[in-house]
Structure 1
Amino acid sequence: MNMLHSDNIEPKPICTPTPAGHEITPRDRRFGREEGYAPGKYWQNGDPVATAFYNCLSLTFPRGEAFFIESVREFRDQTPAKLQKEIRAFVQQEVIHSREHLALNRRVEENGYDTSRIEQRITESLGMTKGRPKITNLAATMILEHFTAIMAQQFLANPRHWKDSDEETADLWRWHALEEIEHKGVAYDTWLYATREWSRWQRWKVKALMMLVITRNFWGNRWNDTLDLLAQDGMTGWRVKLRLLKFLLVEPGIARAIIIPWIKFFLPGFHPWNEDDRHLIQRAESEYEAALTGRPATA
């Protein structure tokens, strides 16, 4: 059944709070390409635990974002013109993100880490999507895009996430975060359009069940992957696990910080743009330009 088109049924209008006039702007930036650039093994504040977590997260992006692109593209051509334009910009942003994280991932390997087990887990996870209904993969993309958006909000709202980090690498993450916020409604709006003939209960049931499964897998895999890299540095045992738990839940506490936004996903009338955080995009852009020019940032 074609989820997006019927000759006998007019599409039901779907009202979403995506801000009117909101533009998605691909920014073709490159990080860490300067000759002699060497951020150090523990680029995140000299902390092996924090560095390992972000390195593992980066390792998921190139193939993960290729999956997001493919999932949304499957529905692009039958969506309204405005959404088609947003999908094209979303795809452009994700392609550039993949390129920059591939460069970061090469630096991880150059620091002596064997990432093959992590890559294998990613391969196995993506392998499960083969042969699934296209709408299921779109739902997974919509959920993972929400994950990245609520984490991105924390990365920009709380400077402590990048305190004393290698500035070039931190700039990469902040740039990625602002674009994740910028396009956070695209996959969700595509999902709303693709399921516009579903009942509210059916739509909620599918997205809620998938969110629970994906949440378990996301954090389980990030936990195991981080411990994998730490073990390669000779860091094992309960003390290391306690340090990782503290990093996730206490300081800076990214997992704790996104609990409320995660819960809101299950509420009636949810949409990513219910939280209008465009001011974070503007602030991050201002700070980036100020760093380049030496002028003070503007709010």
Structure 2
Amino acid sequence: HTKFNNLLKKQGMPIDEILSEHKEIIDKYLNEYSPEYNVALTAAFEHFTALMAEAFFSKKYVSEGFDHRMKTMFAWHAIEEMEHRSVAFDVMQKVAKVGYFMRVWAVIYGTYETMRIMFTNGDKLLKADGFSKWERRKMFIKNLPWMYGRKGVFSSFTKPLFAYLKPGFHPEKIPVVHNYPAWVEEYNKSGDPAKACDALLAAAH
């Protein structure tokens, strides 16, 4: 993450500002919320990010036009998120003993926070790239169907996202993205994350 952030800083991106704001958010969580609720928030964030793998790599069209290096990095991150998706949830249940209502409130709040931070940071990066406020708003409106339409990127994981609200939910009850084995097989064979990314997308719908 640090290496990636430093590369962005060299390109003129406001990374220090974004990291400072993230630290303020995390400090707020730690200072104002109970340890149990912070664990519940962590589990909620992990659920959301694990589902991003499904959103970005289950269908070929979503990553069309991505720089291959970025695609490779995000594929690696998607695999990693799927592989540890249950850790925070198990700690929340077995160690912190978080109950149902706190877990549900945490995922509702965590989803809101994730979306807010994601769009806010995206807007800041586009601004740093020289796009005016009006241009950025037009891009946002234009791409709403791509994000939230019937076959939108985020619409694709609405059902598993809300599965978290079921009393007996556990992350392992949601299957990993169907082409996950293709990434693992290629990476075990070649040790090359770029080739593994290609295999992941070749097996996508």
Q: Which range, TM-score by smaller chain? A: 0.7 to 0.9
CA separation of 1:257 and 1:205: change in aligned 2, threshold 3 A: same
1:208 aligns with 2:104: yes
- Offset of 1:143 from its aligned partner? 0.5
Which residue among 27, 30, 33 is the counterpart of 1:127?
27
Q: 2:86 aligns with which of 178, 185, 191?
A: 185
**CA 1:250/1:106 → structure 2, altered by over 3 Å: closer, same or farther?**
farther
Specify the alignment match of 2:185 in structure 1: 286
Gaps of 5+ in 1: 1-100
Structure 1 CA distance for aligned equivalents of residues 95 and 66 of structure 2: 41
Q: Deviations over 1:253-295 (max 9, x none)?
A: 432222222111112211111112275331122345569598x
Corresponding residue SS for 2:65: coil
Structure 2 counterpart of 1:224, from 120, 137, 144: 120
Is 1:261 aligned to residue 149 of structure 2?
A: no
Cα distance in 2, alignment partners of residues 110 and 251 from structure 1: 38
Q: Return the alpha-carbon distance in structure 2 between the equivalents of residues 168 and 221 of structure 1.
A: 24
| 2:10 pairs with 1:110 | yes
Matched pairs, number: 193
1:182·1:281 contact (CA, 8 Å) conserved in 2? no
Deviation at 1:165, TM superposition (A): 2.2
Please, what TM-score do these two structures have when normalized by structure 1?
0.57
Asked if the contact 1:153/1:280 (under 8 Å) is kept, the reply is: no
How far the C-alpha of 1:188 sits from its partner, in A, is 0.8
* Residue identity opposite 2:176 in structure 1: D
Q: Is the CA contact 1:138–1:191 (under 8 Å) kept in the aligned structure 2? A: yes
CA positional deviation for 1:205: 1.0
What amino acid does structure 2 have at the position aligned with 1:151?
M
Structure 2 residue runs of 5 or longer lacking an equivalent are none
Deviations 1:56-103 (A, max 9, x none): xxxxxxxxxxxxxxxxxxxxxxxxxxxxxxxxxxxxxxxxxxxxx222
> 3-state SS of the aligned residue for 1:168?
helix
CA deviations on 1:155-209 (whole Å, 9 max, x unpaired) are: 331233322322222111111111211111111111111255x6xxxx2211111
SS in structure 2 of the partner of residue 164 of structure 1: coil
- Which structure has greater helix proportion? 2
Say whether the 8 Å CA contact 2:55–2:156 is kept in structure 1: yes
Q: TM-score, normalised by structure 2?
A: 0.80
Please tell me whether residue 151 in structure 1 is matched to residue 52 in structure 2. Answer: yes
* Aligned residues with identical type, % of pairs: 23
Q: Is the 8 A contact 1:181 1:277 kept in 2?
A: yes
**CA RMSD between the two structures:** 2.9
